[in-house]
């Protein structure tokens, strides 16, 4: 018994994170309504302190807890710090929004903290049941956060759809786990690899189980063909929650999938390589469908939803290319997650600032933003250029690194397809930038703005939608508030830094991926 619990202290960061969330819940009861913002600051300070504490406590350690249920290693440490850092920025960009549009701020931050705990456990799990329950902690938190704008019917609809699809995908996932258990007799990732590669044991039941597992995770990642829920949920959820869904929940599921594939499927690659084909097919479908359907979107949140489906396609392509000694694909995936997170934070923080002031979220509403608020327009433009993968921004380096790894991993066609769909994505990102920089401010006559270009289809749509916009909405906007400005600036710095000088981060990422795919 002592062998089971002797290194329990390695989970101190998780215990403290749970305590932090409970502290936020408890203080929420005592603090007066006017001081609820303190809870956000407590959450952010706690997360920052915990990230520093985790690094100091766990750097360089590789240990296994509870007979291989959990792994406290450099991989999980990297993701822990990544998730907690993301949490800080998401809270920072939610404070104004929560104050303006949502009630129950204390629970908002507390549940956000619990979801980060869920993601931390997902990055540490080496066993299916633990991974599943950690995923549930994340999912339940996200259901609640999606439903947070209670007065908004779209938020209610989104939450309902999300919870039903989520429950269904959980059932698929669990069914897959039960099939794997029935054959392997164990739910550990490495037992899966062992059973898959022993010819006497592996059979159709195990293969169907793995397929169900992939489908269940595909739902959570919103990979095509399991993506139908994403656009509706992204559109209905409160904007900071949309940002959180697009960035963090994907990163959490990707961390889980990375360890699962590296420990459970990669060792069986010689005997049963079919999982690579499944993942490659999902990747190709996600890239094409996500980016092609994004072309037709008029709502900014839906646009970001389809764009994020496309980005999941790139991540899945990297996962299909995972191989023993091929740490490059794992590095590429983690690097991509970080770069994508920084870029998306810039775009979403700018959109939140825009929404807080205008209440608008259609692409056409951005018309003339460059004149009304140059800083916001520039931030969104840089973010979108980076998402499209243009050089000197993070988007280029992460795509270059990941696609090169995919090509090296034997999926040249997939890398080609990824580059092709990146080009498609450039088109719809440019549409948004065109709205901001070329279209006139709605409400003013086109010739008065000095551009005088012929009215196009999007322009007439823009005027039809924004025609009823009030005088104040069309007027110049304020610069983002301090907190959102901080997120935008920090994100921009990260986007440029990763685009120009990614070396130090890549070293840390290499240390992380060495653990799950050792030996080069």
Among 32, 60, 199, 204, which residue interacts with other proteins (rule: CB under 8 A)?
A: 204
Q: Binding to other proteins by residue 121, rule CB under 8 A?
A: yes
- Which span sits near other proteins by CB under 8 A: 112-120, 435-443, 472-480, 510-518? 112-120
Separation CA 221–CA 248 (nearest Å): 11
What contacts 198, CB < 8 A, 6 or more positions away? none
At its nearest, how many Å lie between other proteins and the CB of residue 201?
9
Assign 216 to helix, strand or coil.
helix
- Which span sits near other proteins by CB under 8 A: 151-159, 339-347, 392-400, 447-455? 151-159
Stretch (H or E) spanning 400: helix 394-408
Separation CA 154–CA 490 (nearest Å): 31
At its nearest, how many Å lie between other proteins and the CB of residue 16?
14
Residue identified by tokens 């590095």 is 331
Separation CA 438–CA 416 (nearest Å): 32
Among 16, 23, 129, 288, which residue interacts with other proteins (rule: CB under 8 A)?
A: 129
Over 286-330, what HEC string results?
HHHHHHHHHCCCCEHHHHHHHHHHHHHHHHHHHHHCCCCCCHHHH
Residue 71 DSSP symbol: E
Q: Binding to other proteins by residue 244, rule CB under 8 A?
A: no
Torsion of CA 446, 452, 456, 462, to 10 degrees: -30
Separation CA 170–CA 213 (nearest Å): 10
Torsion of CA 269, 275, 281, 282, to 10 degrees: -130
Q: Which is nearer to other proteins, 16 or 129 (CB)?
A: 129
Q: Binding to other proteins by residue 118, rule CB under 8 A?
A: yes
Q: Binding to other proteins by residue 4, rule CB under 8 A?
A: yes
Assign 127 to helix, strand or coil.
strand
At its nearest, how many Å lie between other proteins and the CB of residue 133?
5
Q: Binding to other proteins by residue 47, rule CB under 8 A?
A: no
What contacts 317, CB < 8 A, 6 or more positions away? 279, 280, 283, 284, 287, 402, 403, 406, 411, 414, 415, 418
Separation CA 3–CA 93 (nearest Å): 44
Which residues ranging from 160 to 199 are in contact with other proteins (CB under 8 A)?
183
- Which span sits near other proteins by CB under 8 A: 113-121, 287-295, 423-431, 471-479? 113-121
Among 79, 109, 162, 207, which residue interacts with other proteins (rule: CB under 8 A)?
A: 207
Q: Which is nearer to other proteins, 18 or 430 (CB)?
A: 18
Separation CA 479–CA 374 (nearest Å): 9
Among 147, 191, 351, 417, which residue interacts with other proteins (rule: CB under 8 A)?
A: 147
- Which span sits near other proteins by CB under 8 A: 44-52, 200-208, 330-338, 415-423? 200-208
Among 7, 16, 25, 400, which residue interacts with other proteins (rule: CB under 8 A)?
A: 25
At its nearest, how many Å lie between other proteins and the CB of residue 104?
5
At its nearest, how many Å lie between other proteins and the CB of residue 217?
18
Instruction: Convert 352-372 to b/e letters by CB count within 10 Å (16 or more is b).
Output: bbbbbbbebbbbbbbbbbbbb
Q: Which is nearer to other proteins, 91 or 387 (CB)?
A: 91
At its nearest, how many Å lie between other proteins and the CB of residue 108?
9
- Which span sits near other proteins by CB under 8 A: 77-85, 106-114, 333-341, 432-440? 106-114
Q: Binding to other proteins by residue 19, rule CB under 8 A?
A: no
Assign 26 to helix, strand or coil.
helix
Q: Which is nearer to other proteins, 102 or 330 (CB)?
A: 102
Q: Which is nearer to other proteins, 5 or 470 (CB)?
A: 5
What are the residues binding other proteins (CB under 8 A)? 1, 4-5, 11, 18, 25, 33, 65-67, 69-70, 101-104, 107, 110-111, 114, 117-118, 121, 129-130, 133-134, 136-137, 140-141, 143-144, 147-152, 159, 183, 203-205, 207-208
């Amino acid at each position: 018994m002592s062998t089971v619990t002797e290194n329990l202290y390695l989970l101190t960061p998780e215990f403290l994170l749970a305590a932090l969330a409970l502290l936020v819940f408890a203080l929420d009861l005592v603090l007066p309504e006017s001081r609820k913002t303190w809870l956000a600051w407590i959450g952010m300070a706690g997360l920052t302190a915990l990230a520093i504490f985790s690094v100091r406590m766990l750097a360089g350690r590789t240990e296994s807890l509870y007979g291989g249920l959990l792994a406290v290693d450099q991989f999980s440490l990297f993701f822990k710090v990544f998730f907690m850092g993301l949490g800080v920025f998401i809270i920072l960009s939610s404070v104004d929004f929560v104050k303006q549009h949502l009630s129950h701020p204390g629970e908002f931050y507390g549940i956000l903290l619990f979801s980060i705990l869920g993601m931390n456990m997902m990055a540490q799990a080496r066993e299916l049941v633990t991974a599943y329950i950690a995923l549930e902690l994340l999912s339940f938190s996200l259901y609640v956060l999606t439903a947070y704008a209670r007065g908004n019917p779209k938020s209610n609809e989104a939450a309902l759809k999300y919870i039903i699809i989520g429950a269904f995908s959980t059932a698929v996932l669990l069914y897959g786990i039960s099939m794997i258990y029935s054959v392997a007799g164990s739910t550990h990732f490495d037992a899966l690899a062992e059973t898959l590669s022993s010819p006497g044991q592996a059979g159709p039941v195990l293969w169907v189980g793995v397929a169900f597992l992939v489908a269940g995770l595909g739902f959570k990642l919103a990979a095509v063909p399991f993506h139908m829920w994403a656009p509706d949920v992204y559109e209905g959820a409160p904007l900071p929650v949309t940002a959180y869904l697009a960035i963090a929940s994907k990163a959490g599921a990707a961390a889980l999938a990375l360890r699962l594939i590296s420990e459970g499927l990669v060792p069986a690659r010689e005997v049963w390589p079919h999982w690579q084909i499944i993942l490659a097919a999902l990747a190709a479908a996600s890239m094409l469908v996500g980016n092609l359907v994004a072309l037709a979107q008029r709502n900014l949140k839906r646009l970001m939803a389809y764009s994020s489906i496309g980005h999941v396609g790139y991540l899945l392509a990297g996962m299909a290319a995972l191989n023993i000694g091929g740490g490059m694909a794992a590095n590429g995936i983690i690097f991509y997650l970080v770069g994508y997170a920084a870029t998306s934070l810039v775009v979403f923080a700018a959109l939140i600032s825009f929404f807080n002031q205008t209440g608008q979220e259609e692409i056409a509403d951005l018309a003339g933003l460059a004149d009304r608020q140059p800083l916001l327009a520039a931030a969104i433009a840089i973010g979108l250029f980076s998402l499209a993968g243009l050089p000197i921004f993070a988007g280029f380096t992460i795509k270059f690194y990941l696609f090169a790894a995919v090509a090296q991993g034997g999926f040249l066609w997939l890398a080609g397809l990824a580059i092709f769909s990146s080009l498609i994505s450039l088109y719809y990102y440019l549409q948004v930038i065109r709205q901001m920089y070329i279209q006139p401010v709605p409400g003013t006559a086109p010739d008065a703005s000095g551009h005088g270009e012929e009215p196009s289809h999007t322009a007439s749509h823009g005027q039809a939608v924004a025609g009823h916009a009030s005088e104040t909405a069309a007027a110049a906007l304020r610069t983002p508030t301090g907190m959102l400005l901080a997120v935008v600036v920090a994100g921009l710095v990260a986007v440029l830094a990763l685009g120009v000088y990614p070396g130090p981060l890549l070293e840390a990422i290499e240390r992380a991926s060495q653990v799950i795919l050792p030996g080069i």
